[in-house]
Structure 1
Amino acid sequence: DVCIIQPYLGPCYACWAAELREGLVDPRADVELDYGMIGADGTLEAEPGLWLDVVRVAAAQADIALSYLLRATDARKPLPGNTIILANNVLEIAEGHHLLPFSAEWVQIERDPHCLVCGDAVRADRLQEKQPELSLDDLMHEAGISLETPEEEEQSS
């Protein structure tokens, strides 16, 4: 899956992950998971074709990122949702709705107003909090970091 997370303009990662996990059936703990070809020494052997799946997801991520960066230009591609689900085998994304191998589907995941990370109550609290403005010098001082000029570096050497 590839998604777009924009603070307060859509779901946070917690909203997004919760929505996609909803209805997900976890494998039973007593069932051994098959991670592919395990060598005699217990290491995972290479799985043919995996790189092609990674490249497909990376290409989608790059294309979406470029579209986002070009959002104020005529070159921007409008996106039909904030998440694209890429299937490398038959994948049931909703009850009775299957994606075929090598297919993709755009979906729109909404922000959960009750989310503990970005929900309305959390957002209201953050908007009410008045954070003092800190300069870079203030932050460096709080963290115990100091910068030396090139002359000071030469003198300390």
Structure 2
Amino acid sequence: MTPDYPLLVRQLEALLDTLDWLSNSAQTCAFIMQEVGELNWVGFYLHRQPNMLSLGPFQGKPACHPIPFEKGVCGAAARTRETQRIDDVHAVADHIACDSASNAELVVPIVVKGQLWGVLDLDSPTKARFTTNDQAGIESLVTVFIDKTELTTTALT
């Protein structure tokens, strides 16, 4: 069943009632994990040091840390600042396998004032889980997160 992303946007807007990035990122992960089906991991990776992503709040099994920009789907999203929607992560040569049960991945970069803040990563055990509709929907949830959160890149370095 396809999530009702416009409804999820309204719900997330109501849920994020603080400007605190830590609280809002934790809430966003929990909300997406609860409301979007066929996921086994949802989390943020933060850009805290040059060309590297550090693990942030997440829902799911323990995760890989750190992730260099030159490796994996998260690294590609950070490097290109473009959403990565991968139907089969095992077909990606430099995929970082934190959980062998993950088969599909959607990673949305979070850019604040022209600077990369981090990425939101969703993993699924179902191959080809993420459609263009899911990509647009998750990107709209990331927009809510950005709009409702005080995000600075200087605080992370």
The TM-score normalised by the length of structure 2 is 0.24
Which structure would you say has the larger Rg?
1
| Higher-strand-fraction structure | 2
The TM-score normalised by the length of structure 1 is 0.24
